[in-house]
């Protein structure tokens, strides 16, 4: 019944529109306005452009300023300050061009709408003008590029020697974290070693792996360089930590990396945004299947001292699960066991 | 009435035309070799696909804008993809996103735009009877049709169509274990795209050959309308880049079906380690974007060409900087091949390569800027007539500016780190490439409808259609910039799993509502299009008082286009509002010698030359007549 009523309503509406349309057409034929080069609608369209300019311009400014606090995520890394400054400088430059060109684009239609007794200017070209508006954008772009290029080179330069190494491995649909441990060197891995008890495929014949450990939360120190070593186990993923302005794809078979310096602890950020629950997050930004939108991992930034004490508390893989070293050659096994017992002290 | 008298006129002096025969329904409407009919076939197919592509986007916009909505009412069409609770299946959500992209980029904006207008306009505007090879042209459409059928069928598979995003990056697209869409759906995607590439190449070779070889007398490259320049260069780009996509797809087929490891390495999935090693997922990205980026210009250049023509005609002014426009087009063509890796700044690409591509990418902004300034100067001190085509062209310029400027952010690799794969990118390319090209398509349809069907589309419905669509598109895509700056990632089924993106539900709702309104507004166009085809006002021969050659044909040109000799061209196509001339337009077929009152000094020089040529021609004609007798 409900559906029937809707159908009748729609039918009525359509037929009314139809009638209006036919009448309009007939009236315009009678008036002969369809013979004119430009009918009265010309003026209406010209005015519409002006109205659109004013209304859309108002919305643009109003919303951009009103919402700034919302869409501008707080920055928590050193390089993020640089890239955000670049973003806003570029926005300022493009914003000026955006407004200037649109003023012209929408005012011209009103200003130069068709008049029967008028002729358009025959103005096919002007070399001076054309050279100017080739050269000026080229110059402005060069400045923008060079500053972007400098930032990019700094960000992608090799990580400092003392950077804390953290491995992030993406899989459907989560991230696994591995720390390099006391020696700050990650043990080798091989995807063929992956099984239920060794989700990272760590190769424990490599001594560097003895102190490697995992953590449910990515804990990093404030003010010290951190190197994310990024890889994927199945399909492409992408590590995205929006507050750190950090993004890097995780590629199966091709490890990638990204280093940065966090400059606000989680607690400081909580105070800044006035939210006790605030957490830094990692999300996935490369389509990876059904759970693409649920690959969340929390990053916790702490003071360096707190980081050191946290580090000391962590128990390596081989200590939590001694089976991992059960098959090692005797010599290595001994070494591993020594390390375990040292840790326990 | 008028139409009947004119067409019968046309048939009288039809001696020259060797295609003069009576077409059956099948040869006229289905297996036609007439470029005009093939153009219309592409157009109608494009409209069909646009509706499907648009509908798919509405479904996923419902999910994004109204996540709690009960979608049970879609079950009659979507079946099991709507679960018991009335929720959209997340895998099918990804399939929707993928198919929306594939359909819009390839089937609507490549085939529907280039296919329609290159076919329809190239012979008409350069003064040729048909394409260089009508048969190849027909094949081009039917390969496209085959490709369409396969893609359409894939929508109804049990496991759904391809779901790895329109870029179908492996390993996701190579492994059925990773996502159900990578099964048969992906196979059909690859087969369909293969036929699509064949279609594109057949079409492209034809366009290029025709433009180079079949221009009428006097139609030098420096007198070609900008539409033809754009179609010509588009075809060149397509010819050089589509084969690379074919290579990428072929290697993907090998990886999927024959156990090779071009793109696969070190994968552990669904509890087992795959044997593939040594492949590179990034290799696929390089190959894909070697087509993928030029593809943006394949989509955009025809729209810019159409806009140049429409703006000049309706501003009653020569296009400003004709040569600069051509040089810009050439610049964009060349540069479009050397910027592809800007899609891959954070793919693990060597950062040094990233710097190189950043420089190259930002250079391409210069010719684009020149084009915008030239459009603005063309409007300046014009005498503007707002036909629906003109409105859509102005709309296109606006989108081209808005979307193009954010390209400067994204092309800067340092800024792209944050913005890559967020909604900022979605906003950027939907404006600069999607909506701009779509507006070019609409402008073209409104402008050349009288030539296609001999009738006028209703202008008032056109105005309403324009304003709803123009405002609608901005309401849909402009807010996405804010969402993108806030870091919302693309291709997310919902954003509530993260604190940083657990906001803007209101803005997403607004975007979805605007999308629905904009989509519904397109039915005004659909109605106007089909109704006017049969019942529209009969058009006059040159309704926009335009200079180009297509308006010198009869109202319903037969196969062969001109009943008698093909007209000769004496001037460039932009002699609008020339000082001294009686009318505010001088068609290309009017000799300079007959317009002494408006000739410029250097044209006066050409008059002498022209007279000599005409004299020689006259002699040849007389000689021929004597021979025939």
Give the 3-state secondary structure of residue B173. Answer: coil
Q: Do A102 and B347 touch (CB under 8 A)?
A: no
Which residues of chain A are within 8 Å of residue B413 when distances are taken between CB atoms? 148-149, 152
Q: Do A71 and B316 touch (CB under 8 A)?
A: no
Minimal Cα distance from A43: which residue of B? B386
**pLDDT for the residue B7:** 39
Which percentage of chain B shows pLDDT scores above 90?
Answer: 84
Q: In this complex, which of B265, B322, B382 lies closest to A253 when CB atoms are compared?
A: B265
> What's the whole-number mean pLDDT along residues B491-505?
93
Task: Tell me phi and psi for residue B72, to 5 degrees.
Answer: -55, -30
Domains in chain A: boundaries: 41-113+129-157, 164-344
> What's the whole-number mean pLDDT along residues B89-109?
96
**For residue B8, pLDDT beyond 50:** no
**pLDDT for the residue B433:** 93
Q: Which of B260, B265, B270, B257 has its CA nearest to residue B281?
A: B265
A186 to chain B, closest Cα gap in Å: 18
Q: In this complex, which of B179, B315, B485 lies closest to A72 when CB atoms are compared?
A: B485
Question: Rounded to whole angstroms, how far apart are CA atoms B523 and B466?
Answer: 12
**pLDDT for the residue B306:** 97
Task: Tell me phi and psi for residue A226, to 5 degrees.
Answer: -125, 135
Which residues of chain B are within 8 Å of residue A137 when distances are taken between CB atoms? 365-366, 369-370
Q: Quick check: bond before B46 cis, omega within 30?
A: no
The tokens of A286 are what?
């490369």
Question: Each residue of B260-285: pLDDT tens digit?
Answer: 999 999 999 999 999 999 999 999 99
Domains in chain B: boundaries: 31-266, 298-559, 566-628
Across all residues in chain B, what is the average pLDDT? 92
Cα Rg of chain A, angstroms: 32
Mention every residue, 6+ apart, whose C-beta is less than 8 A from residue B333: B233, B236, B237, B297, B301
Cα A81 to chain centroid distance, Å, stands at 15
Question: Each residue of B508-560: pLDDT tens digit?
Answer: 999 999 999 999 999 999 999 999 999 998 999 999 999 999 999 999 999 99
Question: Rounded to whole angstroms, how far apart are CA atoms B419 and B508?
Answer: 18
Q: Do B401 and A148 touch (CB under 8 A)?
A: no
Cα A47 to chain centroid distance, Å, stands at 39
Q: pLDDT confidence of B1, banded at 50, 70, 90?
A: very low
List Cα–Cα distances, B365 to A73, B162, B332, B360, B404, in angstroms: 28, 33, 9, 9, 8
B388-410 and B436-453 helices, crossing angle to 10°: 160
Which option is the CATH number for B298-559: 3.30.2130.10, 3.30.230.70, 1.20.210.10, 3.20.20.140? 1.20.210.10
Neighbours of B366 (CB within 10 A): 22
**pLDDT for the residue B5:** 37
Question: Rounded to whole angstroms, how far apart are CA atoms B228 and B73?
Answer: 47
CATH assignment of B31-266? 1.20.210.10
Q: Do A105 and B165 touch (CB under 8 A)?
A: no
Q: In this complex, which of A233, A236, A278 lies closest to B172 when CB atoms are compared?
A: A236
Q: Identify the segments of chain A with pLDDT beneath 50.
A: none
Phi-psi region of A324 (alpha: psi -120 to 50; beta: other; left: phi over 0): alpha
Dihedral (Cα; B213, B215, B216, B217), 10-degree rounding: -80
Q: In this complex, which of A63, A191, A238 lies closest to B346 when CB atoms are compared?
A: A238
Question: Each residue of A158-181: pLDDT tens digit?
Answer: 999 999 999 999 999 999 999 998
Give the 3-state secondary structure of residue A214. Answer: strand
ipTM of the complex: 0.93
The tokens of A184 are what?
């700050």
The tokens of B133 are what?
């090879």
Minimal Cα distance from B402: which residue of A? A98
- Tokens 């909505």 -> residue: B69
Q: pLDDT confidence of B2, banded at 50, 70, 90?
A: very low
**pLDDT for the residue A1:** 65
CATH assignment of A164-344? 2.60.40.420
Alpha helices for A67-77 (secondary structure H) = 68-71
Pairing of strands A174-179, A237-241: unpaired
Q: Do B268 and A201 touch (CB under 8 A)?
A: yes
How many contacts (CB atoms, under 8 Å) link A and B? 343
Question: Rounded to whole angstroms, how far apart are CA atoms A56 and B388?
Answer: 21
Looking from the CA of A158 toward its CB, the CA atoms found within 13 Å total: 3
Give the 3-state secondary structure of residue A178. Answer: strand
Which residues of chain A are within 8 Å of residue B498 when distances are taken between CB atoms? 281, 283, 296
Which residues of chain B are within 8 Å of residue A248 when distances are taken between CB atoms? 346, 348
Minimal Cα distance from B359: which residue of A? A145
Q: Do A289 and B385 touch (CB under 8 A)?
A: no
Beta strands in A215-338 (DSSP E): 218-221, 225-232, 237-241, 246-250, 256-261, 280-284, 297-302
Question: Each residue of B281-305: pLDDT tens digit?
Answer: 999 999 999 999 999 999 999 999 9
* Chosen from B288, B330, B384 to mutate, greatest number of chain A CBs within 10 A: B384
> What's the whole-number mean pLDDT along residues B374-403?
96
Q: In this complex, which of A119, A201, A247 lies closest to B383 when CB atoms are compared?
A: A119
**pLDDT for the residue A174:** 95
Buried/exposed A240-264: b ≥16 CB within 10 Å, e otherwise: bbbbbbbbbbbbbbbbbbbbbbbbb
**For residue B11, pLDDT beyond 50:** no
Alpha helices for B155-225 (secondary structure H) = 184-213
Minimal Cα distance from B461: which residue of A? A21
Which residues of chain A are within 8 Å of residue B431 when distances are taken between CB atoms? none
């Amino acid at each position: 019944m409900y559906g029937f009523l809707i159908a009748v309503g729609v039918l009525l509406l359509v037929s009314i529109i139809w009638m209006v349309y036919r009448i309009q057409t007939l009236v315009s034929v009678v008036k002969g306005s369809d013979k004119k080069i430009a009918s009265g609608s010309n003026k209406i369209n010209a005015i519409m452009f002006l109205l659109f300019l004013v209304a859309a311009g108002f919305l643009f400014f109003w919303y951009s300023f009103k919402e700034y606090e919302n869409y501008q995520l707080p920055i928590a890394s050193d390089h993020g300050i640089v890239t955000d400054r670049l973003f806003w400088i570029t926005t300022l430059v493009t914003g000026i061009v955006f407004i200037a060109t649109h003023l012209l684009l929408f005012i011209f239609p009103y200003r130069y709408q068709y008049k029967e007794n008028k002729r358009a200017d025959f103005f096919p070209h002007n070399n001076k003008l054309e050279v100017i508006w080739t050269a000026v954008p080229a110059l402005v772009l060069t400045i923008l590029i060079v500053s972007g290029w400098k930032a990019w080179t700094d960000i992608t330069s090799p990580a400092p020697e003392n950077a804390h190494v953290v491995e992030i491995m993406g899989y459907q649909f989560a991230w696994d974290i591995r720390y390099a441990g006391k020696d700050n060197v990650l043990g080798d891995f091989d995807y063929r070693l992956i099984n239920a008890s060794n989700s990272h495929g760590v190769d424990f014949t490599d001594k560097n792996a003895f102190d490697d450990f995992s953590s449910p939360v990515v804990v990093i120190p404030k003010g010290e360089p951190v190197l994310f070593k990024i890889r994927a186990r199945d399909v492409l993923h992408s590590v995205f930590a929006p507050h750190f302005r950090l993004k890097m794809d995780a590629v199966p078979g091709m490890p990638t990396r990204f280093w940065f310096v966090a400059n606000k602890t989680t607690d400081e950020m909580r105070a800044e945004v006035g939210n006790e629950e605030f957490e830094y997050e990692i999300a996935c930004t490369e389509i990876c299947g059904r759970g693409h939108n649920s690959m969340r991992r929390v990053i916790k930034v702490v003071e360096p001292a707190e980081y050191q004490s946290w580090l000391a508390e962590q128990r390596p893989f081989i200590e939590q699960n001694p089976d991992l070293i059960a098959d090692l050659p005797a010599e290595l096994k001994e070494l591993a066991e020594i390390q375990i017992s040292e840790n326990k002290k | 009435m008028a139409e009947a008298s004119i067409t019968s006129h046309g048939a009288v002096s039809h001696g020259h035309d060797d295609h003069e025969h009576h077409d059956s329904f099948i040869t006229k409407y289905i297996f036609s070799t007439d470029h005009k009919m093939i153009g219309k076939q592409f157009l109608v197919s494009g409209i069909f696909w646009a509706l499907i592509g648009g509908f798919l986007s509405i479904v996923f916009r419902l999910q994004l804008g109204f996540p709690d909505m009960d979608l049970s009412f879609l079950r009659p069409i979507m079946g099991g993809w709507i679960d018991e609770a009335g929720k959209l299946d997340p895998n099918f959500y990804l399939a929707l996103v993928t198919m929306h992209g594939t359909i819009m980029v390839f089937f609507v904006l490549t085939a529907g735009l280039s296919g329609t207008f290159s076919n329809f306009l190239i012979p008409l505007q350069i003064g040729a009877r048909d394409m260089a090879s009508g048969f190849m042209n027909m094949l081009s459409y039917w390969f496209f049709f085959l490709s369409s059928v396969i893609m359409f069928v894939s929508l109804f598979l049990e496991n759904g169509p391809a779901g790895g995003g329109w870029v179908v990056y492996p390993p996701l697209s190579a492994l059925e274990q990773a996502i159900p869409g990578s099964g048969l759906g992906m196979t059909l995607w690859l087969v369909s795209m293969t036929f699509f590439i064949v279609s594109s190449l057949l079409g492209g070779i034809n366009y290029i050959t025709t433009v180079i070889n079949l221009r009428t007398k006097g139609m030098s490259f420096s007198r070609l309308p900008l539409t033809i320049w754009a179609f010509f260069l588009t075809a060149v780009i397509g010819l050089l880049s589509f084969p690379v996509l074919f290579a990428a797809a072929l290697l993907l087929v090998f990886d999927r079906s024959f156990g090779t490891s071009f793109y696969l390495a070190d994968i552990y999935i669904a509890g087992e380690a795959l044997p593939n090693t040594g492949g590179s997922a990034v290799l696929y990205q390089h190959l894909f974007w070697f087509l993928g980026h030029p593809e943006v210009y394949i989509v955009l250049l025809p729209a810019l060409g159409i806009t140049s023509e429409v703006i000049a005609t309706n501003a009653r002014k020569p296009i400003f900087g004709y040569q600069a426009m051509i040089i810009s087009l050439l610049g964009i063509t060349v540069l479009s091949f050397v910027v592809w890796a800007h899609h891959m700044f954070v793919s693990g690409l060597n950062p040094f390569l990233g710097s190189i591509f950043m420089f190259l990418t930002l250079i391409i902004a210069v010719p684009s800027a020149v084009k915008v300034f030239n459009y603005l100067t063309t409007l300046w001190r014009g005498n503007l007539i707002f036909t629906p085509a003109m409105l859509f062209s102005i709309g296109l310029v606006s989108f081209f500016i808005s979307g193009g400027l954010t390209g400067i952010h994204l092309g800067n690799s340092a800024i792209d780190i944050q913005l890559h794969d967020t909604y900022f990118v979605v906003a950027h390319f939907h404006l600069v490439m999607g909506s701009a090209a779509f507006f070019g398509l609409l402008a073209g349809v409104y402008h050349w409808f009288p030539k296609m069907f001999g009738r006028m589309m209703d202008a008032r419905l056109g105005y309403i259609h324009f304003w709803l669509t123009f405002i609608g598109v901005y309401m849909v895509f402009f807010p996405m910039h804010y969402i993108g700056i806030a870091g919302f990632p693309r291709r997310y089924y919902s954003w509530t799993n993260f604190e940083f993106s657990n906001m803007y539900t209101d803005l997403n709702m607004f975007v979805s509502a605007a999308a629905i309104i904009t989509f519904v507004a397109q039915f005004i166009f659909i109605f106007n299009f089909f109704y006017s085809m049969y019942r529209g006002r009969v058009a006059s021969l040159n309704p926009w008082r335009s200079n180009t050659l297509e308006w010198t044909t009869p109202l319903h040109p037969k196969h062969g286009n001109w009943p008698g000799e093909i007209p000769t061209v004496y001037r460039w196509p932009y002699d609008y509002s020339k000082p001294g001339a009686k009318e505010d337009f001088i068609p290309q077929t009017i000799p300079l010698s007959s317009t002494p009152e408006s000739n410029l000094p250097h044209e006066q020089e050409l008059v002498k030359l022209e007279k000599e040529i005409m004299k020689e021609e006259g002699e040849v004609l007389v000689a021929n007549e004597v021979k025939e007798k």
